[in-house]
Structure 1
Amino acid sequence: MRLALAQLNPVVGDLRGNAERILAAARSASAEGATLLLTPELSLWGYPPRDLLLQPARLALQSAVLDGLVEQLDGLCSLLVGVALPCDDDRAPGLYNGIALVDQGGWRGVARKQLLPSYDVFDERRYFRPGDGPCLLTLEEGERLGLTICEDLWVEDALQRERLAGPDPIAALVEAKPDLLINLAASPFDPSKPALRRQLAGQAARRLNCPVVYLNQVGGNDELVFDGSSLVVAPDGSTLLELPACREAVQVWDSSGPQQATAPLSQTPCREELLLRALVLGVRDYAGKCGFQRALLGLSGGIDSALVAVIAAAALGPENISALLMPSPWSSSGSINDATALANRLNIKTHTLPIQGLMQGFDTSLTPALGQQPQGVTAENLQSRIRGTLLMAVANQQGQLLLTTGNKSELAVGYCTLYGDMNGGLAVIGDLYKTSVFALCDWIDSPEARNCREDLGLPQQGELVGEAIRRKPPSAELRPDQKDSDSLPDYSELDPLLKGLIQERTTPQALVAAGHDIPLVERVQRLLQRAEFKRRQAAPLLKVSPQAFGSGWRLPIAAGGLCSAGPD
C-alpha cells in the first residue's frame, strides 16, 4: 500500500484549522496515489492541548469537525487522525488519547494510547485513561496495521533512561504479526532525541519483524518545540526513509516496495544545527501563533543578545526585528561598536537610548527614602530595570514581541533581574547553558554552518556573531570593569555543576566525588534554590534540553533542608 506521512504543524485548539491542514495533506497525498494518510498524535487538537480538553464545547466541536472531514473526502485517501476519544461512562478522566480512522464511510476510533506520560512537561493522566489492549487495524485490502501512540514505543530498558510502568504495547502485538507498525507521536525536541527514536523504532521493527513508521509532529507550541524527524525503518532496523527536521512535509512511501533505502538518505544535522533550527522554529511559531509579526530585543554587544538576534532574524526576517542599544556610563565603547556591527551584519534596525539621565533621575528620587543614593546591587538592578522598562514601552507602543536574552546558567543561579533583563514575552535561549551559547555561536560563524545559514535566510558569507563578541569575557557592565566572573564561578566550572543538579539530579556528594570542591557545590546548590522565585516569574522559554525550567520543573519556592556536599 502507498502510505503518506504528514509531518504537520498544528495550532493547539484550532480544530477547524487543523482539519484543513489534514485535508490539504490528503489532497497532496492522493495526487501521488496514496491510499492512507498518517497524521501525528492528537493532530486534530495540536499537542499538548492541556485544559482545552476539559471544555465540553470544544469536545463537541471535535465530532462536528470529524464529520466535516468525512464529507470532504470524496475521491481522497483514508486518514488516521489523532483525536480525543470519549469514554463510555461518567468517570474521570473521561477521554482516551486515541486514533480515528476517517474515510468516506464515516469515522471511528481504532486505537487508544496505553502508556500515558506524566513526567517532565507531560501530564496526560490528568486528561486521559490508558488503553487496555493491543491495537490492530485490518484494512479492507487485508493489510494488518499495528497502531501505537508516542510513548507506547518507549519500552526498551536498554535504550532509555526510564521506562514507564505498565504494559509493553510492542510485545502485545508480536502474536498478531502485523504487516506494519505505525507510531503516531508528538515528541518534543532535544538534540539526543532523533537518534534515540531511530533506535527505538529499529528495535520494535526487529521484535515484530515488520517495517515501522514513526510519524512525529513538527512546530513550536508555547515552550515546546517538535522537530518532526519522522522516519520509516525496515524489519532489520535500518532506515528506509526520513523526513526533514524542523519543517512540515508530506512524504509518500510504498510499503510493498524494496525494504531497503532506494536513494541515499540525507545526512543527520549536527547537534548545533539541530539546536539552531529548533530555536528558530520555536521563535517563529511562538510569534506567529500568538499574533506577532515583529520582535524587539536589547542589544548589548554581548554573546547572549547576539545569538538571540541571529535566531530572531532567521525566524521572522531581519526587516521585522529591531533592537535597542541602551548604554550606561559603564558601557564600553567596544560593546557599543560590537552591537552596532552585529546589527549591520544582520541588517536589523537599531535605536540608541542612553540611560545615564534616567539613572541620575532615579538616584535623585530615591535618595530621600534611602538616606543616600542607591548603592551596590540596588544601583546595578536599577540599570537593568530602566532598560527593561524602555524595552517594554517600545514593544507595547509598536506591537512587538519582546525577546529576553538571558541564558540558562544565569536563570539557574539568579544572575538576572526581575522586572529588568527578565522582561519579555519569550526567553529564547533560557534553556541553553552559557557554554552552549558559546559553542553554538562558534558553529554559526564556522564554514560548516554556511548551508544552514543560507537555508534560514541568513547571510552565508563571513561571520555573523563575530569574533570580537565570541571572545569577549562575559560582563553585564553594571559597574566599572565588571565581569561575570566577579560574582560567579567560571562557566566552564559552573555549567557542569548545574547540569548535574538540574538535569541529572546528581547528589552534592556525587559531584564532590567527581572532583568538584565542596564549598563550590554547596554555593551553587544554594543559589539554584534561592533563585526559584525568579524563575517562577520568568517569561516562557523554549525547551531544548531533557530538563528545562518551565512546566516540567516543579520545585517549591519556600523550601528548606539543603543537602550538604560533605560526608554524611
Structure 2
Amino acid sequence: MRIALAQINPLVGDLSGNGAQLLAACRRAAADGADLMVAPELALWGYPPRDLLLRPSLRQRQEDVLEALARDLPAEQALLLGVSETVRDGQQPDLFNSVALVEKGRWRIVARKRLLPSYDVFDERRYFRPAEEPCLLELERDGRSWRLGLTICEDLWVEEHLHSQRLLGGDPVGDLAAMAPDLLINLSASPFGQGKPHLRRELAKSAAQRLSAPVIYVNQVGGNDELIFDGGSFVSTASGAVGAQLAFGAADLACWEPGQAAEAAAIPSDEELLLRALVLGVRDYARKCSFGKALLGLSGGIDSALVAVLAAAALGAEKVQALLMPSPWSSEGSINDSLHLAKRLGIHTQTVPIEGLMGGFDAALSPPLGGTPAGVTAENLQSRIRGTLLMAVANQQGQLLLTTGNKSELAVGYCTLYGDMNGGLAVIGDLYKSTVFHLCNWIDSEAAQAVRQELGLPAQGELIGAAIREKPPSAELRPDQKDSDSLPDYAVLDPLLKALLEEHQSPEELSQQGTDPALAERVMGLLRRAEFKRRQAPPVLKLSQRAFGSGWRMPIAAASQ
C-alpha cells in the first residue's frame, strides 16, 4: 500500500476551500500511485477552529464538503482526515474530535480522539468529548487487509519519560498493542515549539518500538492567529529510523510505502527552525487577514531590525514600509543604522521627525498639568506620538502594523500602551531580548546564508549589521538613556523571567538558588503589575512553552504573589 502524507496549510473556518486543497492533494497523490492519503487533525476546519465549531451552519457545511469529497475523490483512492463529529443526545459538549474515512463514494467515522488537551493554548474539552476505546481500521488493498491503528495528535503524547505534560487518561498507543496494527497513523495539529521536532520523533520512535510497527505522523502547517504550525510530518519505521521527512514551515506532499528504505533526514538547527517559524507566522497572519503590505517603525535598535528582516522575508521587501520618527534624543547613529538596514533589505522608508509634535503636546498639556509633561509621562508621550503616526499611516494605506517589542519588555511592562505596543501583530513578543541577540547574530553568520537565500533575503554579507547588534539597548526617550538604567542586564533578567514564566518558580525559590531576594521580588512585581498592559497587547506569535496570549490566563486584579 502506497500512502501519501498531505501536510496542508488550511484557513480556519474555510471548509470549502480546505476541502478543495485536500481534493487537489488527493489528485496529485493518485498521480503518484497513492492508495491512501492522510491529512491532519480537523483538516477541513483548520486548527484551532475555536467557537466556529459551535455554528450549526458550519457543521452542515462540513457534511456537504465530505459528500463532495466522496463524490470527486479519484477512483480506488481513500482519504483519512480529521473532522468534527456531532452527537445528538442533548448533552454538552456535543462533538467528538474524529477521523473520517472517505472512499468508494461515501464517508464514515473511523476513529475518535481520546486525550483532549486543555492546557496552555488548547481548550478541547470546551467542545469535545473524549473517546474511550482504541481505534483500529481494517483497509483492503491489493488483496491484503491492512490493520491501521488510528490516533489523533495528543493520543501519541503518552511517554511520561519524554515530556512533562502527559494527560490523565488511558494509553491510546499501549491499548493498540493487543490489536497488532500493521501501521500506526497519527493525524496531528501540533504548534511550533523550540525542541518539538526532536520530541515528536522520539514520541513516534517510542510508539513504533512498542507496537513493532511504523508510525505515520501528519502535521498541519501554517500560521493561524498567534499559533504557528511548523509541519515537519514524517514516517518512523518500526525500528525508529526516519522513513520519510516532509518540509518544515511549508505545505508538502510525499508518498511512502511499508518496507521503503529509511532516509537520512536531519532536523534543521534550532535557529533555522525559529527563523522559518517566524517568517511563516508573519506571512500567514498577513495573508489570512487579507493584508498584502506591512508597516513598522525603525528605531535603529535590534528589535525593529529583526522585525524588518522577518517582514521582508515573509511579504517581500517591496511590500514593507518603515517609518523613522526621530526625536531630539535620537542619536545620529540610530538614524543612520536604520537607513543602512533598510537599504540592505530593499525596503522603503520615510522620516517623520516628532519634535514639533512633542512641542504641541507640551503646550496642550501644560494647563491641566500645571507645567510641561516630565519624567515617564514625557517619555511615554514620545512613544504615543510615534504609535499614533504609525497607526494613521497603516490605516490610510491598508497596511498591517507590526509591533516590534520583545518578550522581556512585555513581561516587565517596559513598553507603552497606545504607543510602541500599537499594532496588529506582536512578531517577536515571545522572544526574550537575549534570544533576539542570539538569532540576529545567527542571521548575520555564514550558517544562515542558504536559508536567507531561500527566503528571498540577500544571502551574502550582514543583514542586521554589527552596528545594530553590538549597540547597548536603549529606548532613546531621554538623553543618554540605556535599558540598563531601568532594568537588570538582560543576561540577568531573562533567566529570571524564564524561571518565573515558564517554570512557575516563586521569588523565594529563586532566592534559594542564589538570586538576590530583592531582585527576585522586584522582577516578580514588575511582571505582576504589567498584566493590564499585556491584556491590551496585539496577538503575540507563540514560540515558547509559555507565551503571552491565549494560553496565558492570569488575573489583572489579584493579590501579590
Distance 1:229 1:140 in 2: 29
* Residues 162-311 of structure 1: pairs in structure 2 closer than 5 A: 162-255=165-258, 257-258=259-260, 260-261=261-262, 263-265=263-265, 267-311=266-310
Aligned to 2:154: 151
Superposition deviation, residue 428 in structure 1: 0.2
Superposition deviation, residue 405 in structure 1: 0.1
Distance 1:71 1:308 in 2: 46
Large movers: runs of 4+ above 3 Å? none
Distance 2:74 2:494 in 1: 57
Distance 1:134 1:407 in 2: 44
* SS at 2:185 equivalent: strand
Deviations 1:358-385 (A, max 9, x none): 0000000000000000000000000000
* Residues 482-561 of structure 1: pairs in structure 2 closer than 5 A: 482-561=481-560
* SS at 1:132 equivalent: coil
* SS at 2:178 equivalent: coil
- Asked if the contact 1:216/1:229 (under 8 Å) is kept, the reply is yes
- Asked if the contact 2:242/2:264 (under 8 Å) is kept, the reply is no
Superposition deviation, residue 61 in structure 1: 0.9
Gaps of 5+ in 1: 563-568
Which segment drifts farther, 527-536 or 79-88?
A: 79-88
- Asked if the contact 1:74/1:104 (under 8 Å) is kept, the reply is no
- Asked if the contact 1:246/1:278 (under 8 Å) is kept, the reply is yes
Distance 2:134 2:235 in 1: 21
Deviations 1:395-429 (A, max 9, x none): 00000000000000000000000000000000000
Aligned to 2:423: 424
Aligned to 2:367: 368
Q: Give identity over the alignment, percent.
A: 66
* Residues 352-367 of structure 1: pairs in structure 2 closer than 5 A: 352-367=351-366
- Asked if the contact 2:101/2:107 (under 8 Å) is kept, the reply is yes
Superposition deviation, residue 561 in structure 1: 3.1
Aligned to 1:69: 69
Aligned to 1:565: none
Distance 1:157 1:280 in 2: 32
- Asked if the contact 1:26/1:76 (under 8 Å) is kept, the reply is no
Superposition deviation, residue 322 in structure 1: 0.3
Aligned to 2:32: 32
Distance 1:120 1:147 in 2: 25
Aligned to 2:445: 446
Superposition deviation, residue 77 in structure 1: 1.8
Gaps of 5+ in 2: none
> TM-score w.r.t. structure 2 length?
0.99
Superposition deviation, residue 513 in structure 1: 2.1
2:12 is the alignment partner of 1:9:
no
Distance 2:105 2:425 in 1: 45
Residue 89 of structure 2 aligns with an amino acid whose one-letter code is: D
Distance 2:3 2:74 in 1: 18
Aligned to 1:104: 104
Superposition deviation, residue 510 in structure 1: 1.9
* SS at 1:351 equivalent: strand
* SS at 2:544 equivalent: coil
Superposition deviation, residue 240 in structure 1: 1.4
Residue 98 of structure 1 aligns with an amino acid whose one-letter code is: S
2:440 is the alignment partner of 1:437:
no
Superposition deviation, residue 349 in structure 1: 0.1
Distance 2:465 2:525 in 1: 35
- Asked if the contact 2:298/2:305 (under 8 Å) is kept, the reply is yes
* SS at 1:140 equivalent: strand
Aligned to 1:342: 341
Distance 1:161 1:392 in 2: 42
Residue 337 of structure 2 aligns with an amino acid whose one-letter code is: D
Residue 132 of structure 1 aligns with an amino acid whose one-letter code is: E
- Asked if the contact 1:27/1:76 (under 8 Å) is kept, the reply is no
Aligned to 1:469: 468
Distance 1:171 1:236 in 2: 17
2:68 is the alignment partner of 1:55:
no
Which segment drifts farther, 410-419 or 68-77?
A: 68-77
Distance 1:469 1:539 in 2: 26
Distance 1:87 1:203 in 2: 34
> TM-score w.r.t. structure 1 length?
0.97
Residue 493 of structure 1 aligns with an amino acid whose one-letter code is: V
* SS at 1:322 equivalent: strand
* SS at 1:139 equivalent: strand
Which segment drifts farther, 83-92 or 527-536?
A: 83-92
Residue 204 of structure 1 aligns with an amino acid whose one-letter code is: A
Superposition deviation, residue 76 in structure 1: 5.8
Residue 203 of structure 1 aligns with an amino acid whose one-letter code is: S
Superposition deviation, residue 155 in structure 1: 0.4
Aligned to 1:84: 84
Distance 1:194 1:76 in 2: 33
- Asked if the contact 1:188/1:227 (under 8 Å) is kept, the reply is yes
- Asked if the contact 1:300/1:326 (under 8 Å) is kept, the reply is yes
* SS at 2:140 equivalent: coil
Deviations 1:200-237 (A, max 9, x none): 00000000000001111000000000000111111111
* SS at 1:418 equivalent: coil
Distance 1:327 1:131 in 2: 59
Distance 1:178 1:80 in 2: 16
Distance 2:187 2:472 in 1: 46
Residue 289 of structure 2 aligns with an amino acid whose one-letter code is: C
* SS at 2:244 equivalent: strand
Deviations 1:338-375 (A, max 9, x none): 00000000000000000000000000000000000000
Superposition deviation, residue 544 in structure 1: 0.5
- Asked if the contact 1:96/1:128 (under 8 Å) is kept, the reply is yes
Distance 1:88 1:337 in 2: 65
- Asked if the contact 2:27/2:74 (under 8 Å) is kept, the reply is no
2:128 is the alignment partner of 1:125:
no
Superposition deviation, residue 74 in structure 1: 4.0
Deviations 1:258-277 (A, max 9, x none): 4x41x432x32111111110
Deviations 1:44-83 (A, max 9, x none): 1000000000011111111111101111114262100110
Deviations 1:418-445 (A, max 9, x none): 0000000000000000000000000000
* SS at 2:255 equivalent: strand
Aligned to 1:23: 23
Superposition deviation, residue 523 in structure 1: 0.2
Which segment drifts farther, 134-143 or 75-84?
A: 75-84
Residue 3 of structure 1 aligns with an amino acid whose one-letter code is: I
Distance 1:514 1:206 in 2: 40
- Asked if the contact 2:71/2:105 (under 8 Å) is kept, the reply is no
Distance 2:12 2:323 in 1: 33
2:171 is the alignment partner of 1:161:
no
Distance 2:81 2:216 in 1: 15
* Residues 388-403 of structure 1: pairs in structure 2 closer than 5 A: 388-403=387-402
* SS at 2:5 equivalent: strand
Distance 1:78 1:90 in 2: 33
Superposition deviation, residue 190 in structure 1: 0.9
Superposition deviation, residue 514 in structure 1: 2.0
**Root mean square deviation, CA, Å:** 0.8
2:42 is the alignment partner of 1:42:
yes
Aligned to 2:313: 314
